[in-house]
Amino acid sequence: DVKVTQSSRYLVKRTGEKVFLECVQDMDHENMFWYRQDPGLGLRLIYFSYDVKMKEKGDIPEGYSVSREKKERFSLILESASTNQTSMYLCASEQAGNQPQHFGDGTRLSIL
Amino acid sequence: GQQLNQSPQSMFIQEGEDVSMNCTSSSIFNTWLWYKQDPGEGPVLLIALYKAGELTSNGRLTAQFGITRKDSFLNISASIPSDVGIYFCAGQRGTGGFKTIFGAGTRLFVKA
């Protein structure tokens, strides 16, 4: 079974802090994604990566950056956290070639 | 941009009832996916559909890939309390997950 592991289930940070969300997958997938999920807005794509050191902006990249130094790990970075970034963050990975995405359990992030 | 229209937004049903939900789009997709998200968890893949007209079952769940390639439905038979959650459809246009579009979700409530 595919395993996508997000480092924290719950996280509380303060406004202005730099926040790192980590995601690791164990299936050698090429593609990895970060989404945020908010009530009534569904899943919104922040960034994705289709290879090591490659990244592409999704629909809502502002205020975020990402890092993919190794194939199995995709990190989401909030450069200076703000209260409007309080949300559920979901990481997903996918084998290239029209395959389904597999999700982690999510990180519920609160910015105070 | 591309959108998936998923309906209904929410459903309140009695245990034992059958459930039907669907997704439509103005665009053609090569793959349709159905996910379920339990409260506080990440979405889990239920069914993947790869061919127009394909009808696939997974236990009490049945999903179909519409002939026009622009729609899909998910049926749940004889619902039980653990069916509670959010059901997402997703369409993929081609290779690469950045072409995956998610519906807004159908929130299912089951009364015992």
| pLDDT value at A87 more than 90 | yes
Mutation target to probe the A interface, by most A beta carbons within 10 A, among B89, B102, B106, B107 is B102
Distance from A94 to chain B by nearest Cα, in Å?
Answer: 7
Average pLDDT over chain A reads: 94
CA pair distance B32, B73, nearest whole angstrom: 10
Residue A87 exposed, middle or buried by CB count within 10 Å (0-12, 13-18, 19+):
buried
Among candidates B42, B92, B104 on the partner chain, residue whose Cβ is nearest the Cβ of A103: B42
Phi, psi dihedrals of residue A13, rounded to the nearest 5°: -135, 170
- Residue B94 has a pLDDT of 65
Mutation target to probe the B interface, by most B beta carbons within 10 A, among A101, A105, A107 is A101
- Residue B112 has a pLDDT of 87
Q: Does the beta carbon of B44 lie under 8 angstroms from any beta carbon of chain A? A: yes
Q: Does the beta carbon of B100 lie under 8 angstroms from any beta carbon of chain A? A: yes
- Plot region of A30 (φ>0 → left; ψ -120 to 50 → alpha; else → beta): alpha
Instruction: Kindly provide the b/e burial profile for residues A57-85, where b requires at least 16 CB atoms within 10 angstroms of the residue's own CB.
Output: ebeeeeebebbbeeebbbbbebeebeeeb
Closest residue in chain A to residue B36, using alpha carbons only: A103
Closest residue in chain A to residue B103, using alpha carbons only: A42
| pLDDT value at A1 more than 80 | no
Task: Give the pLDDT mean for B94-101.
Answer: 65
In this predicted model, what pLDDT tens digit does every residue of B44-75 receive, in sequence order? 999 999 999 999 999 999 999 999 999 999 99
Task: Give the pLDDT mean for A55-83.
Answer: 96
Bridge partners, residue A45, by sequence: A35
Of the given ranges (A8-17, A33-42, A73-82, B65-74), which has the lowest mean pLDDT?
A33-42
In this predicted model, what pLDDT tens digit does every residue of A40-60 receive, in sequence order? 888 999 999 999 999 999 999
- Residue A35 has a pLDDT of 96
Average pLDDT over chain B reads: 92
